């Protein structure tokens, strides 16, 4: 087993004044921040698809980066990817990885052969992850790239395609369980539609729920103890993806009685596409008890697609980590870099620069979030802003004691309530955030 990234050693922490581009400036794995080590708080994961497979191919051109790993043969390449992945994880100090079944091993024409080849790679992965001390954060199934999924997988109008998807997912779940995965993700690849002129939306939604229910039952029956996640995304590849955003997915889960089985895997770029902030999606998931895991990347608000950039926006990372800490930290989830280096960043060292940038961004975000919480001014402000709900009429409304008639009587007696209001103090609070952020 050769070295794929010779000339690059283990990336160390050198602190914020270092100018070494191959060193961490903010990520100090064993430093304790907010009661846990940074490593435990952040639970970084490498994405198999972008890192080992993504070669920069786009709508207008072929790949720019060499991701053949020195092997022309698919089966040999699949194993070389495992070695390259572990070398990367070791050098970057990343403990977890995430995959789609077809990133590990491609489609070989028949499901039987494809499954047999996947087994080979999973065997190898199982052995190597034990040796290297690496873990699977989550697995998923690619039911969107092959032409058979052109109209969707669980939401295909064709029952044969549904059956094929179920078979493929069954196998991906088995691989996830064998590799000790902490989670299993449903990202609705082509589960959506282009036009209602050819779509039976009601049946498609029912079928999507059927597929999820079957998956949960099967996975639990073979001993899967981890979390199931849905990863919301509003559009791309279909014009209208059914799993639009956290709110839509919550409605779907509750409507089909699946809310106990699923949490959310929230991706920053998908939040942008849904016209939400990343923090909005995280907060809603946290408040509704379905916060699970994160696909760490960032989009571009000027572009309407999933650019999957490595995250470098410190405000977003800080507010994200604020939500993660407030949610009690990750349990089975983590920060998966569903991110790719730009097409022009095609050299092997760019993979390192990208991960270092992303990891340092979240490390700094964590430091800021912990400071914001320790400082307490934001939390205290919010607590005071809602204090009218813990006593008097507010408490009566919350406990269900107050009727409409009583509220009417109260309002009539009270008269104009404008004088009960306080300023929202947005600018003052934003200045506190900046002050904490730039004092670090």
Q: Contact residues for ligand XLS (CB under 6 A)?
A: 100, 140, 185, 187, 231, 233, 267, 295, 306, 338
Q: How far apart (Å, rounded) are the C-alpha atoms in residues 361 and 314? A: 6
Binding region for Ni ion (CB under 5 A): 267, 295, 306, 338
Is 100 labeled as catalytic in the residue annotation? yes
- Considering the complex, what minimum distance in angstroms separates the CB of residue 26 from ligand XLS? 25
DSSP 108-153: -SSHHHHHHHHHHHHHHHHHHHHHHT-EEEEEE---SSSGGGTT-S
- Considering the complex, what minimum distance in angstroms separates the CB of residue 265 from ligand XLS? 7
- 360 interface partner picked from Ni ion, ligand XLS, none, CB below 5 to 8 A per type: none
- Considering the complex, what minimum distance in angstroms separates the CB of residue 236 from Ni ion? 8
Minimum CB distance to Ni ion smaller for 185 or for 250: 185
Minimum CB distance to ligand XLS smaller for 307 or for 313: 307
Nearest Cα neighbor of 339 from 366, 371, 316 is: 316
Minimum CB distance to Ni ion smaller for 140 or for 155: 140
Query: 200-236 b/e with 16+ CB inside 10 Å = b?
Result: eeeebbebbbebbeebbeebeeeebebbbbbbbbbbe
One of 50, 95, 100, 295 is an active-site residue; which one? 100
Nearest Cα neighbor of 118 from 62, 55, 167 is: 167
Q: How far apart (Å, rounded) are the C-alpha atoms in residues 244 and 189? A: 12
- 176 interface partner picked from ligand XLS, Ni ion, none, CB below 5 to 8 A per type: none
One of 50, 95, 101, 103 is an active-site residue; which one? 103
Cα separation values, 77 from 11, 73, 114, 294, Å? 26, 6, 15, 29
Minimum CB distance to ligand XLS smaller for 38 or for 230: 230
The answer for residues whose C-beta is within 8 angstroms of residue 110's C-beta and 6 or more apart is none
Minimum CB distance to ligand XLS smaller for 183 or for 365: 183
- 227 interface partner picked from Ni ion, ligand XLS, none, CB below 5 to 8 A per type: none
DSSP 402-415: --HHHHHHHHHHH-
- 335 interface partner picked from ligand XLS, Ni ion, none, CB below 5 to 8 A per type: none
- Considering the complex, what minimum distance in angstroms separates the CB of residue 122 from Ni ion? 22
Q: Which residue number has the CB closest to ligand XLS?
A: 187
Minimum CB distance to ligand XLS smaller for 261 or for 338: 338
Length of the chain: 440
Name the E strands within 240-382: 240-241, 262-267, 291-295, 335-337
- Considering the complex, what minimum distance in angstroms separates the CB of residue 373 from Ni ion? 27
Minimum CB distance to ligand XLS smaller for 174 or for 231: 231
- By the 8 A CB rule, do 245 and 234 touch? yes
- The count of C-alpha atoms lying within 13 angstroms of the C-alpha of 55, restricted to the half-sphere facing its C-beta, is 12
- Considering the complex, what minimum distance in angstroms separates the CB of residue 431 from ligand XLS? 35
- Considering the complex, what minimum distance in angstroms separates the CB of residue 137 from ligand XLS? 11
- 140 interface partner picked from Ni ion, ligand XLS, none, CB below 5 to 8 A per type: ligand XLS
Q: How far apart (Å, rounded) are the C-alpha atoms in residues 231 and 245? A: 8
- Considering the complex, what minimum distance in angstroms separates the CB of residue 280 from Ni ion? 17
User: DSSP assignment, residue 67?
Assistant: -
Minimum CB distance to ligand XLS smaller for 101 or for 261: 101
- By the 8 A CB rule, do 153 and 190 touch? yes
Is 280 labeled as catalytic in the residue annotation? no
How many other C-beta atoms lie within 10 A of the C-beta of residue 325?
19
Supply angle C-alpha 423, 426, 431, rounded to 5. Answer: 130
- The count of C-alpha atoms lying within 13 angstroms of the C-alpha of 422, restricted to the half-sphere facing its C-beta, is 10
- 281 interface partner picked from ligand XLS, Ni ion, none, CB below 5 to 8 A per type: none
Cα separation values, 42 from 254, 312, 387, Å? 30, 15, 33
Catalytic residues: 100, 103
């Amino acid at each position: 087993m050769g070295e794929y990234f010779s000339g690059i050693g283990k990336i160390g922490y050198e602190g914020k004044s270092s100018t070494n581009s191959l060193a961490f400036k903010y990520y100090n794995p064993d430093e304790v921040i907010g009661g846990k080590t940074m490593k435990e708080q952040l639970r970084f994961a490498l994405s198999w698809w972008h890192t080992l497979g993504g070669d920069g191919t786009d709508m207008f051109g072929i790949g720019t980066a060499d991701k053949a790993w020195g092997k022309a043969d698919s089966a040999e390449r699949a194993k070389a990817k495992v070695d390259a992945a572990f070398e990367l994880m070791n050098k970057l100090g990343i403990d977890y990885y995430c995959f789609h079944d077809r990133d590990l091993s491609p489609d070989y024409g028949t499901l039987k052969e494809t499954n047999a080849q996947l087994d080979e790679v999973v065997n190898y992965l199982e052995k190597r992850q034990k040796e290297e001390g690496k873990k699977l954060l989550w697995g998923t199934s690619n039911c969107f790239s092959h032409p058979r999924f052109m109209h969707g997988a669980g939401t295909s109008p064709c029952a044969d395609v549904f059956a094929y998807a179920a078979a493929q997912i069954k196998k991906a779940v088995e691989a996830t369980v064998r590799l000790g995965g902490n989670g299993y993700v449903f990202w609705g690849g082509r589960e959506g539609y282009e036009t209602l002129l050819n779509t039976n939306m009601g049946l498609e939604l029912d079928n999507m729920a059927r597929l999820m229910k079957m998956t949960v039952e099967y996975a639990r029956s073979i001993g899967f103890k981890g979390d199931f996640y849905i990863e919301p995304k509003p559009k791309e590849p279909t014009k209208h993806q059914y799993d639009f955003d956290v709110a839509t997915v919550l409605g779907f889960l509750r409507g089909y009685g699946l809310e106990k089985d699923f949490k959310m895997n929230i991706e920053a770029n998908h939040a942008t596409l849904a016209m939400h902030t990343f923090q909005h999606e995280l907060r809603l998931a946290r408040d509704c008890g379905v916060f699970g895991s994160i696909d760490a990347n960032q989009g571009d608000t000027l572009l309407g697609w999933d650019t999957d950039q490595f995250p470098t926006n410190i405000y977003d990372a800080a507010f994200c980590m604020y939500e993660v800490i407030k949610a009690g930290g990750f349990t089975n989830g983590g920060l998966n870099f569903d991110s790719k280096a730009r097409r022009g960043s095609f050299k092997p060292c760019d993979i390192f620069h990208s991960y270092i940038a992303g990891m340092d961004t979240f490390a700094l975000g964590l430091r800021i979030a912990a400071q914001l919480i320790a400082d307490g001014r934001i939390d205290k402000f919010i607590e005071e802003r809602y204090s009218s709900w813990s006593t008097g009429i507010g408490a009566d409304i919350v406990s269900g004691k107050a009727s409409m008639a009583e509220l009417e009587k109260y309002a009539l007696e009270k008269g104009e309530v404008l004088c009960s209001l306080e300023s929202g103090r947005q600018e003052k609070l934003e200045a506190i955030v900046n002050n904490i952020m730039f004092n670090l």
